Amino acid sequence: MLSEVLLVSAPGKVILHGEHAVVHGKVALAVSLNLRTFLRLQPHSNGKVDLSLPNIGIKRAWDVARLQSLDTSFLEQGDVTTPTSEQVEKLKEVAGLPDDCAVTERLAVLAFLYLYLSICRKQRWTKEDLELINKWAFQGERMIHGNPSGVDNAVSTWGGALRYHQGKISSLKRSPALQILLTNTKVPRNTRALVAGVRNRLLKFPEIVAPLLTSIDAISLECERVLGEMGEAPAPEQYLVLEELIDMNQHHLNALGVGHASLDQLCQVTRARGLHSKLTGAGGGGCGITLLKPGLEQPEVEATKQALTSCGFDCLETSIGAPGVSIHSATSLDSRVQQALDGL
């Protein structure tokens, strides 16, 4: 039973290489992003379970006694289980959400209740903490995405960099932490439509598109090799290789039809400052990453961020290859994080 405040954080994720090609059996590299989600677990004596997710405007509470009195047999006994459609419907009854509830709020609340009711009824944690966290995080992903790959939860649990190939996930050893800019073009995209577009292009031009996918696979493998060699003492020439790989992959993704004018603008702005960028994820807008080489002066970084912001984009400086899920003491937190948590 929780007797004191527990602070936990987990990193975000970006795809470094292998977007879209991974759908066709090629290798993709996913890396943890040091833009972290923080969780504060704090005991209360008011007999309620409170959930506060300020980023998406959720603040709800349930009586512990009511939750404990519920028939949770629908969650099944045993190990980590996959939620069924019947379980989701029963969770909706428990949640008591209004009909006009936003989709993001509904999914977040259902995922929380599923994990809370499933895990708390066990009354104890196993010793294999990370494995357990990864399994339950995957079930949370299922609640939201239906049929996830498992990459998001694995990266957030283990951190660093992961290799994904035909359903198999493995960690990259000695992956260095790299500084990047993460830029949100704020252009919405339809991932399903973009994936379907690449498939249609492959069917229409197999002798053209298949080699592109094979080349993207080779880019992922070469990046994996370079990252493994960089370790803790990367050499300047290795950053040059990473930059070339970024440029080639971006051109390939444009050829697959998943680029966008906003992403082209992002690449042009950073290229004018000697930096190299590519889209990350589905493309068609969304986000892009820009590699920051060691020795780059902070005024240059700030000028690049300002130029991107002037384009109407949101730009954040962060790093990839961050630690996975972590427990923190209150004194170890950044002042901005502490201030945000205190405001909950």
| CATH number for position 283 | 3.30.70.890
- Give the confidence band of 319 by pLDDT, cuts at 50, 70, 90: very high
CA angle, 109 then 107 then 115, to 5°: 55
Least confident of 24-28, 175-179, 181-185, 210-214: 175-179
C-alpha distances out from residue 227 to 76, 176, 237, 255, Å: 43, 7, 12, 26
Q: Looking at the structure, do residues 204 and 302 belong to the same domain, yes or no?
A: yes
Residues 77 and 94 in one domain: yes
What residues contact residue 83 under an 8 Å CB cut-off, 6+ apart? 91, 114, 139, 142, 143
337 and 232 part of one domain? no
50-94 pLDDT tens trace? 888 877 788 888 887 777 666 566 555 455 666 677 777 877 887
* 342 has a pLDDT exceeding 80: no
77, 193: one domain: no
Assess whether 198 and 125 both reside in one domain: no
What does the pLDDT read at residue 56? 79
Note whether 188 and 254 are same-domain residues: yes
Same domain, 156 and 263: no
Same domain membership, residue 298 and residue 335:
no
Measured from the Cβ of residue 291, the count of other Cβ atoms closer than 10 Å reads: 21
198 Cβ contact list (under 8 Å, min separation 6): 20, 23, 209, 256, 257, 258
CA 187 to each of CA 110, 191, 195, 230: distance values in angstroms, whole numbers, following the listed order: 28, 12, 17, 34
- In this structure, the answer to whether residues 49 and 187 fall within a common structural domain is no
Q: Considering the domain boundaries, does residue 219 fall inside one? A: yes
Residue 206 and residue 218: Cα distance in Å, rounded? 18
Q: Please compute the mean of the pLDDT values over residues 189-202 and round it to a whole number.
A: 93
Assess whether pLDDT exceeds 50 at residue 1: no
Tally of structural domains, the chain: 2
Q: What are the tokens at 174?
A: 């000695």
Query: What domain range includes position 231?
Result: 178-320
The 10s digit of each residue's pLDDT in 137-195 is 888 787 776 677 788 888 988 889 999 999 898 988 878 889 999 999 999 998 889 99
Taking the model in full, what pTM does it have? 0.77
Q: Residue 1 domain-assigned?
A: no
